[in-house]
Amino acid sequence: MLSFDFSQRVAVVTGGGNGIGRAIATCLGAQGARVHVLDIDLAAARQTAAACDGIAVRCDVADAAAVRDCFAAIGRVDFLINNAGVVSGPGQPFTNNTEDEWDRTFAINVKSIRHTAAAVSEQMRARRDGRIVNITSITGVIAAPFMPPYSVSKSAANGLTRVLARDFAPSGVTVNAICPGFVWSPLWEDLGEVMAQSSGGAQGANAREVFQWRIDSLVPMKRAQSPEEIAATVAFFCSDGARNITGQVLSVDGGVTI
Ligand SMILES: NC(=O)c1ccc[n+]([C@@H]2O[C@H](COP(=O)([O-])OP(=O)(O)OC[C@H]3O[C@@H](n4cnc5c(N)ncnc54)[C@H](O)[C@@H]3O)[C@@H](O)[C@H]2O)c1
């Protein structure tokens, strides 16, 4: 059972309306943080906010101006959790993905981190305190040729994590990334369907069966990762004990990337 004292702390969780983001918001809220749940889907953000006594905000994190306005309204932020992300469609060979698909995936999975980090940069540096945690992916550590824009965008997000960590380091602000492995969520409900239609080994299966097939064939520990396990790692990075950890890219994946 986690136990951190995050009372007096303000957190922002992007993409907090579903899946991993909802678990992160709920976990930080349970430790006492005031949580702002940002999502492009306001109804979903409201459901999460109701569960963690937080505040729901509609925000498209790929829109730099919208992010700026949104963070100006929020004010103080102690913990910035960049979790919003989208998968790209099947792309094997890589020429299957359109330029628009590459641009959209990069806008949401990479440039959004630049927008949100820029929005908190001045205040966190001035206080010499703050935590930024980016939820990236094991596909940013090992190649996922099934979805090139997604895999490359998550590599870039891991790279951006290191660049931001160096940039913020003198001010005591930490920046780390967590790479989830296989987490059952609305993202996987959609991805499983797509894989069932387009991947040889998965034809005829339903999304949940595709998910289990990937775990059986790729995860050494033979188990899925839960949203709560990703949230627990976020809480650790936000805790006082992690104040000397920065620029790290940590896989929570049952051993996939060993
Ligand atoms: N589920 C997995 O197995 C898995 C594995 C590795 C990495 N991840 C990463 O974890 C993060 C969360 O994944 P999830 O499985 O919970 O996904 P999800 O699709 O269940 O939830 C993502 C949330 O982000 C929101 N969102 C999408 N675009 C947005 C935008 N432009 N602005 C604001 N919000 C937006 C969606 O509305 C949704 O609520 C993503 O970055 C994803 O790439 C997930």
Please give the pLDDT value at position 82: 99
Helices (H) and strands (E) in the chain, counts: 9, 7
Using the atom order of ligand 1, give the atom closest to the CA of residue 41: 37
Q: Are 33 and 24 in contact (CB under 8 A)?
A: no
| Residues flanking ligand 1, CB < 6 Å | 14-15, 17-21, 39-41, 44, 59-62, 83-86, 108, 135, 137, 180, 182-183, 185-188
- Answer whether residue 3 is part of any domain: no
- Give me the number of domains the chain comprises: 2
Per-residue pLDDT of the chain (258 residues; tens, 9 = 90+): 678 999 999 999 999 999 999 999 999 999 999 999 999 999 999 999 999 999 999 999 999 999 999 999 999 999 999 999 999 989 989 999 999 999 999 999 999 999 999 999 999 999 999 999 999 999 999 999 999 999 999 999 999 999 999 999 999 999 999 999 999 999 999 999 998 888 666 778 999 999 999 999 999 999 999 999 999 999 999 999 999 999 999 999 999 999
Pocket test residue of 67, 185, 188 for ligand 1, highest count of atoms within 8 A of CB: 185
> Tokens for 70?
């949104």
Closest by CA to 134, choosing from 213, 24, 220, is 24
CA–CA separation, 112 and 59 (whole Å): 11
**136 and 213, same domain (yes or no):** no
CA–CA separation, 34 and 26 (whole Å): 10
Task: Tell me how far CA of residue 85 lies from CA of 5, 63, 167, 255, in angstroms.
Answer: 28, 14, 23, 22
Closest by CA to 13, choosing from 45, 38, 42, is 38
Distance from the alpha carbon of residue 126 to the mean position of ligand 1, in angstroms: 31
State which residues form the domain around 189: 184-223
Please give the pLDDT value at position 92: 87
CATH of the domain at 26: 3.40.50.720
**64 and 129, same domain (yes or no):** yes
Please give the pLDDT value at position 197: 86
**164 and 45, same domain (yes or no):** yes
Please give the pLDDT value at position 2: 76
**202 and 237, same domain (yes or no):** no
- Answer whether residue 57 is part of any domain: yes
What's phi and psi for 253, nearest 5 deg?
A: -145, 15
